[in-house]
């Protein structure tokens, strides 16, 4: 990674996405940031703009992937790192899979699996041409462990992980790398929705986790799945 590398981050208005954007902005990386809520995204842009060039595109990543990729390519001519971080949990409290409304399942899969792949499809031609690029897909231990009640979100993360493995196999030798990263438990809005009423004050802050994730961008392996415990070791 060098500071000229252009990074696109979905879900960048708060939590892990915002912490990662902040860190990369301090290093001078040009950024494209996305989240649905305009006001919070604008606030993130105000924080980052004094540090680097930032393009912000508000909207649901599952609906505006083409607009996001198009704006990034128009402004910077390339994207070197795609950070698929935005995620949908589904209803809170989370229903058991056997009673999970199917419309919600569709939405979870659209946001957590299809949108990241769609963005990758849109950006891969340029990455392959330059023989340089990293696709980071943020996952969760719920994608591996069968936690009751986490079926919609957890199975979507499992699908994202396997799609990432296949993508990496297809991209072998192209110079484009795929990273699947489980950031571990963090004190964020998503975790508050997943565990209503729980005390999250002991959990890691996204600002503590982001540096270890950014360090992984220099990993040379064509594919890696990095667990939270390994990230902690880097921290
Ligand atoms: N927090 C944890 O303990 C934990 C554990 C394991 C994995 N993760 C993973 O870490 C990643 C970040 O989670 P977080 O905890 O940092 O979440 P967060 O603090 O709730 O932030 C989520 C971000 O994504 C945006 N977002 C949500 N849905 C979106 C959509 N459809 N289109 C565009 N933007 C969207 C949100 O803004 P808007 O709401 O305005 O769109 C916000 O900027 C996720 O992939 C999550 O699965 C988190």
pLDDT in tens, 107-151: 999 999 999 999 999 999 999 999 999 999 999 999 999 999 999
Question: What is the average pLDDT score of the chain?
Answer: 96
Residue 2 belongs to some domain of the structure: no
Strand, coil or helix: 76: helix
36 lines ligand 1 (CB under 6 A): yes
Strand, coil or helix: 59: coil
Residue 171 belongs to some domain of the structure: yes
At 232 the pLDDT is 77
Residue 110 belongs to some domain of the structure: yes
186 lines ligand 1 (CB under 6 A): yes
Name the closest-CA residue to atom 23, ligand 1: 11
Residue 143 belongs to some domain of the structure: yes
Cis peptide before 93 (omega within 30 of 0): yes
34 lines ligand 1 (CB under 6 A): yes
Per-residue pLDDT band at 234 (split at 50, 70, 90): low
Catalytic residue among 137, 139, 153, 178: 153
d(CA 189, CA 169): 34
- Comparing CA positions, the residue from 47, 129, 31 lying closest to residue 81 is 31
Predicted TM-score (pTM) of this structure:
0.98
> Per the structure, how many domains does the chain have?
1
Name the closest-CA residue to atom 8, ligand 1: 140
Q: To test ligand 1's pocket by mutation, which of 34, 160, 190, 196 has the most ligand atoms within 8 angstroms of CB?
A: 190
Residue 55 belongs to some domain of the structure: yes
- Comparing CA positions, the residue from 101, 211, 114 lying closest to residue 160 is 114
d(CA 66, CA 207): 29
d(CA 140, CA 186): 11
- Comparing CA positions, the residue from 25, 17, 55, 20 lying closest to residue 217 is 20
21 lines ligand 1 (CB under 6 A): no
Q: What is the CATH number of the domain that holds 170?
A: 3.40.50.720
pLDDT in tens, 15-49: 999 999 999 999 999 999 999 999 999 999 999 99
153 is catalytic: yes
73 lines ligand 1 (CB under 6 A): no
**For 168-196, what is the mean pLDDT?**
97
Residue 137 belongs to some domain of the structure: yes
How many Cβ atoms from other residues are within 10 Å of residue 194's Cβ?
A: 22
Give the domain extent around 43: 7-234
Residue 1 belongs to some domain of the structure: no
Strand, coil or helix: 16: helix
15 lines ligand 1 (CB under 6 A): yes
Per-residue pLDDT band at 229 (split at 50, 70, 90): confident
Positive or negative CA dihedral for 32, 38, 213, 235? Answer: positive
d(CA 102, CA 94): 13
Q: To test ligand 1's pocket by mutation, which of 10, 12, 35 has the most ligand atoms within 8 angstroms of CB?
A: 35
In ligand 1, the atom with minimum distance to the C-alpha of 185 is: 3
Quote the ligand 1 centre to 203 CA distance (angstroms).
16
- Cβ atoms of 222 and 28 closer than 8 Å: no
- Of 112-126, 154-168, 174-188, 208-222, the poorest mean pLDDT is in 208-222
């Amino acid at each position: 990674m060098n500071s000229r590398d252009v990074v696109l981050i979905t879900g960048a208005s708060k939590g892990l996405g915002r912490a990662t954007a902040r860190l990369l902005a301090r290093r001078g990386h040009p950024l494209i940031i996305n989240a649905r809520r305009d006001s919070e995204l604008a606030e993130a842009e105000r924080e980052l703009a004094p540090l680097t060039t930032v393009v912000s595109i508000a909207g649901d990543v599952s609906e505006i992937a083409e607009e996001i990729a198009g704006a990034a390519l128009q402004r910077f001519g390339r994207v070197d790192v795609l950070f698929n971080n935005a995620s949908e949990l589904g209803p809170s409290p989370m229903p058991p899979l056997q009673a999970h409304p199917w419309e919600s399942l569709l939405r979870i899969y659209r946001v957590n699996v299809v949108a990241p792949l769609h963005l990758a499809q849109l950006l891969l031609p340029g990455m392959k041409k330059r023989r340089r690029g990293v696709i980071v897909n943020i996952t969760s231990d719920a994608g591996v462990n069968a936690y009751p009640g986490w079926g919609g979100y957890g199975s979507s993360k499992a699908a994202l992980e396997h799609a990432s493995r296949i993508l990496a196999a297809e991209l072998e030798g192209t110079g484009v790398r795929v990273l699947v990263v489980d950031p571990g438990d963090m004190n964020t809005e998503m975790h508050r929705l997943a565990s209503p009423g729980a005390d999250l004050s002991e959990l890691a802050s996204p600002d503590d986790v982001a540096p270890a994730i950014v360090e992984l961008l220099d990993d040379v392996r064509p594919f890696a799945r990095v667990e939270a415990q390994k990230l902690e070791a880097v921290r």
